[in-house]
Amino acid sequence: MCHRAQAVISNMEFVQFHPTALSDEGLPIKPKTRRENAFLITEAVRGDGGILYNQSMERFMPMYDDRSELAPRDVVARSIDDQLKKRGEKYVLLDISHRPRDKVLAHFPNIAAECLRYGLDITRQPIPVVPAAHYMCGGVRAGLQGETNVKGLYVAGEVACTGLHGANRLASNSLLEALVFARRAVQPSIDLMVDADGDARPSLVARWARPTLPRSVLGDSVLSDIVGRTRQARMELQSVMWEYVGIVRSTGRLKQAEWRIGDLESEWEEFLFRRGWKPTTVGVEVCEMRNLFCCAKLVVRSALARRESRGLHFTEDFPYLEESRRKPTVIFPAAVQELTWSSKPLQRQLQADDNACSSSGWALGIR
């Protein structure tokens, strides 16, 4: 949404993967419905002595890092990913069953309860785990007060790129980013509203087209078709991002992702508008899908621009860190000819000077 509002975006290639999310495929009793969000197995399990095995019960972390299971998240996630690809398996096993039963249950009651729901006793059996996308270090470029290049737009939390994380997030920094920057942003945003010229507010509102609700323009059957196609597109986009833009990347796979995302987006948009959806129609699932396409493209473009491996971004074509590239990736808004709905802002042009704001593309580089 901020990108469409002409905000500067930075460091979108640095996506943190949690190494150990619960793998439903490895549970004795499979969940009846697909999880909307991954159930994370805290790193404290490894800190408390948990050991990672492949499905042949071979311990593998010592082969990748001297710190074994206590290596940083990105190292553990890449190691698990390598095991899964080499062995053609869907998950690995995290075993804490060698620890005293009472201590395991006392330290990890929620994990024990969730696993037991599906027939797995973590005090006796290893936990099936797989990496999962967890945290976005990049986002909307923000100053020390949470301000952006868009007047009146302040950001805090995961949506922001404050510089606190660099290329690899430390766990507690997300709390710092959410609380400190949110608190900092409050007073400047209030001051801006107090100081705002009363005459300017109607003109700001007039920039935006009026939204319409789906049921006011579409029938129930058409809306049901659109929601169904949107859910399918979401699953397909998730599959593309996991396969081509995941933990270990390459230039070829990133370009393949760029092509496939473009095709998927075009097909989805064509379906929507053919069924009567309007650019100003707002529905939760469609709006989320639109934003997912936009964010996916921002991640891919940023990843292609970084021709090195740093922190959470690892590419096989440039596997080493280069100090000359210790700079943020920055995506500036710029006018371009061809735009998709997910990237194109809807504000109205009030004067000729607004022409550059009527479309939003990418002017991307390492700054």
pLDDT for 80-139, tens place per residue?
A: 999 999 999 999 999 999 999 999 999 999 999 999 999 999 999 999 999 999 999 999
Q: How confident is the model at residue 363 (pLDDT cuts 50, 70, 90)?
A: low
Distance of alpha carbon 268 from alpha carbon 255, whole angstroms: 20
109, burial (CB in 10 Å: exposed 0-12, middle 13-18, buried 19+) = exposed
- Asked if residue 17 belongs to a domain, the reply is yes
- Asked if residue 189 belongs to a domain, the reply is no
Tokens of 254: 């990133």
pLDDT of residue 273 exceeding 50, the answer is yes
- Asked if residue 301 belongs to a domain, the reply is yes
- Asked if residue 4 belongs to a domain, the reply is no
In the block, tokens 């809306």 appear at 223
pLDDT for 325-334, tens place per residue?
A: 999 999 998 6
Residues spanned by the domain of 74: 9-136
User: Are 127 and 29 found together in one domain?
Assistant: yes
- Asked if residue 88 belongs to a domain, the reply is yes
- Asked if residue 77 belongs to a domain, the reply is yes
Distance of alpha carbon 29 from alpha carbon 13, whole angstroms: 36
Domain boundary among 105, 136, 167: 136
Q: What is the dihedral of CA 50, 27, 112, 108, to 10 degrees?
A: 30
User: Are 15 and 125 found together in one domain?
Assistant: yes
- Confidence (pLDDT) at 338: 54
Per DSSP, the residues of 237-299 read: HHHHHHHHSSSSB-HHHHHHHHHHHHHHHHHHHHHHHHTT--TTB--HHHHHHHHHHHHHHHH
User: Are 113 and 232 found together in one domain?
Assistant: no
Comparison of pLDDT for 40 and 4, the residue scoring more? 40
- Confidence (pLDDT) at 356: 38
Query: Which of the residue ranges 141-150, 203-212, 287-296 would you say has the lowest mean pLDDT?
Result: 203-212
pLDDT for 148-172, tens place per residue?
A: 999 899 999 999 999 889 899 887 7
- Confidence (pLDDT) at 359: 38
- Asked if residue 71 belongs to a domain, the reply is yes
Q: Assign residue 54 the CATH number of its domain.
A: 3.90.700.10
Number of domains in the chain: 2
Domain boundary among 94, 111, 136: 136
Domain boundary among 75, 101, 136: 136
Q: Under DSSP, is residue 65 helix (H, G, I), strand (E, B) or coil?
A: coil
Residues with a known catalytic role: 73
Tokens of 87: 């062995």
User: Are 39 and 131 found together in one domain?
Assistant: yes
pLDDT for 164-209, tens place per residue?
A: 898 998 877 888 888 999 999 999 998 888 877 555 555 656 667 7
User: Are 124 and 239 found together in one domain?
Assistant: no
Q: Name which of 234, 219, 358, 341 is nearest 278 in CA terms.
A: 341
Query: Which of the residue ranges 151-160, 166-175, 273-282, 315-324 would you say has the lowest mean pLDDT?
Result: 166-175
- Asked if residue 185 belongs to a domain, the reply is no
- Confidence (pLDDT) at 340: 83
Q: Assign residue 248 the CATH number of its domain.
A: 1.20.58.100
Cβ atoms of residues 140 and 159 within 8 Å: yes
